């Protein structure tokens, strides 16, 4: 009985850690990519809060993501 309880607890902790370190930061990155240049001041403060709150996961995902600004199209 305690083995099942310990296994369930371990699985729950692993799921929460995976969500905190991988899933939520990926969603935050997607949100930032969509709204960065059009956000209001309140929304920008919320973005900074999300970056601070999910900072460990952001560091884990940062080497694999590239959010450079898009190249401008100059018409002649």
List, for residues 4-25, the tens digit of each pLDDT value: 888 999 999 999 999 999 999 9
Domain segments of the chain: what residues? 2-63
Q: What is the pLDDT of residue 15?
A: 96
Per-residue CA distances from 60 to 27, 37, 51 (Å): 14, 24, 13
Q: What is the pLDDT of residue 22?
A: 93
Q: What is the pLDDT of residue 49?
A: 96
Structure tokens that stand for 68 in this block: 């450079």
Q: What is the mean pLDDT of the chain?
A: 89
Question: pLDDT class for 73, splitting at 50, 70, 90?
Answer: confident
pLDDT over 80 (residue 45): yes
């Amino acid at each position: 009985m305690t083995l099942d309880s310990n296994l369930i607890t371990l699985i729950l902790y692993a799921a929460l850690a995976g969500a905190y370190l991988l899933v939520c930061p990926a969603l935050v990155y997607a949100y930032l990519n969509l709204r960065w240049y059009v956000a209001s001041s309140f929304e920008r403060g919320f973005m900074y809060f999300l970056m601070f709150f999910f900072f460990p996961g952001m560091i884990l995902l940062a080497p694999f993501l590239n959010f450079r600004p898009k190249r401008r199209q100059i018409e002649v």
